[in-house]
Chains A and B, each alone.
Chain A
């Protein structure tokens, strides 16, 4: 048994698995920014690329089935004393084991990149990764079964292209997220927010459907008569019915994981917190945050803690505005899994005297906030790499950047007596906390 399995694994499984591993790891490494923030991001990114892995697995399965046919060994194998279902099981285990291992190996190869920075590993991420493995195995088995049923030279390429077209377009035929999610394992896996998750029941429903397809493919391979082959419909129908029942029908593909948003804080004071999803970055954030608190201490009633802003701004009614005692800031993760632009973190924390105007309904004057922060740090405002670029219309001169306006305000502020400047910065801070317009608070002749 084990020797036959080893031969099948080498002959059938390894070529396909190598293609999947190389293509999968290569693709993921070209889009590192998608998954560098954490495990859930990595899993969702890999699920997105099932759009390619599943059709490739189908094609590989069909190609392998065709190869056995071309080698003209079917009759020889049929003459061996091992029963047909056992031989089929060997082939299935070899093919499925190899492509499943490849899918896991892609996670291992890419996971090494973020292993030192990613901490939060929810059960949902493991379940979603498992669905990906099941989906590739089911695809490979389906390809093998169809490749054996229709053993022509065009089967494998046609199945691969048709599979790609199907996984791309079938989910679009549905209007509800839950239907599209059942139609394709790659649907809705773009992560918009790093606190996003895939609920366990959704993964369960997808796993049931994938298992149904896999069993159907196994039945197709193990049976030799057309009448018994119709039994393959049974697991598909059953799996579909069960999956539809398990799937939450109000599923929204942007589902937020409240645990990922929970604050993880330093043990000592002053308190610095990041969301659980970014727990691995706490040590990188803390020195910048404490420096910001020290600089803000000259304000009357200064803030005492720095907390990651976990607002998602998906729903206006749930926006949390942080109070005067807290400096909120946004965590941005770079391609390497570490903080992106850490040299700008202090500037951003000091903006508007440590009071974020994010979520204010009418926005906030960016330049005024920057100038107030610059006065606290004593450093000239710099162009922020995250600032959006202004689209210049034809014949239009672009307005000066926020950093240019802020520098002007900041230079003016520095000429004022210390107490007067501090009072003006404090006024900007109040304005940001209360969401009122701060324009003119720094450069007006009187407050």
Chain B
């Protein structure tokens, strides 16, 4: 228990939780207040998932990652569990809106985007360090939202995977690859060691 509390504190999880809950509440209220239909626009759904993934980005590293690695702990399973819990929390938070008057769905798209964007964040953490890890999902998703792609080209569907409809196979495969790659790279290598800043 003590270890868990220390882990959460060193990852500044409370700040991430506050940001995630606040962001969800804010976007939910905006959609509930202004949208004519109960289903949120797909762009808003993607943005909410992106917001939650990006606010969990800094929890992928601690204040001194190099020092941490010297500890006699098996880090890979811990890191994997950390990512999986983040995945569960984000999907839980978004899917909690489904029974309400402003629905952020469908569930398959939320699960796909959470997995993929969290995977990209993890890849970012393993390559750029935890503090910069949110660059990767943002750099992929914001242009993809600006250029919605509705054609048949597989390359186009892969490039704009976060905003593709939930039945797109190309998008699902891309998200799965990102998720698995992120989980594997981050769990095995951990956050890149860069000076924080």
Contact = CB atoms under 8 A, between A and B. Distances in A.
A51 interface: yes
Contacts of A436: none
B82 interface: no
B15 A153 contact: yes
A165 B146 CA distance: 11
A154 B55 contact: yes
Contacts of A84: none
Given A70-B196, A160-B138, A165 B44 contact: yes
A32 interface: no
Interface in A281-310: none
User: Which of A156, A157, A160 gathers the greatest number of chain B CB atoms within 10 Å?
Assistant: A157
A158 interface: yes
Interface string B136-154: 0010001101100000000
Given A70-B131, A158-B54, 13 more contacts: A49-B146, A67-B197, A154-B19, A157-B134, A158-B23, A161-B47, A161-B51, A161-B138, A162-B23, A162-B26, A164-B142, A165-B44, A168-B145
Contacts of A173: 34
A165 B47 contact: yes
Main secondary structure of the interface of B (DSSP, over half): helix
A142 to B, nearest CB: 18
A228 interface: no
A157 B143 contact: no
A79 interface: no
User: Which of A23, A71, A161 gathers the greatest number of chain B CB atoms within 10 Å?
Assistant: A161
A153 B146 contact: no
| Top 3 closest pairs, chain A to chain B, by CB | A157-B54, A153-B58, A154-B19
A11 to B, nearest CB: 10
Interface in B160-197: 196-197
B51 A55 contact: no
Given A158-B55, A161-B138, A51 B146 contact: yes
A59 B50 CA distance: 14
A429 to B, nearest CB: 42
A100 to B, nearest CB: 21
Interface string A43-55: 0000001011001
Given A71-B197, A169-B30, A173-B34, A154 B16 contact: yes
Contacts of B108: none
Contact of A157 (B26, B57, B197): B57
Contacts of B95: none
A23 B146 CA distance: 13
B27 interface: yes
B34 A168 contact: no
Contacts of B30: 169
A266 interface: no
Interface string B30-66: 1000100000000110010011001101100000000
A55 B43 CA distance: 16
A21 to B, nearest CB: 15
B142 A55 contact: yes
A18 interface: no
Given A153-B12, A169-B30, A164 B145 contact: yes
A158 B138 contact: no
23 contacts: A49-B146, A51-B146, A52-B142, A52-B146, A56-B142, A67-B197, A70-B131, A70-B197, A153-B58, A154-B15, A154-B58, A160-B138, A161-B23, A161-B54, A162-B23, A162-B26, A162-B51, A164-B145, A165-B27, A165-B44, A165-B47, A169-B30, A169-B44
Contacts of A156: 134
A27 interface: yes
A27 B142 CA distance: 12
B55 A164 contact: no
Contacts of B19: 152, 154, 158
A162 B24 CA distance: 11
A59 B138 contact: yes
Contacts of B50: 161
Given A158-B19, A169-B30, A164 B54 contact: no
Nearest to A157: B54
Nearest to A51: B146
A153 B16 CA distance: 8
Contacts of B143: 23, 27, 52
A15 to B, nearest CB: 11
Contacts of B197: 67, 70-71
Nearest to A173: B34
B135 to A, nearest CB: 9
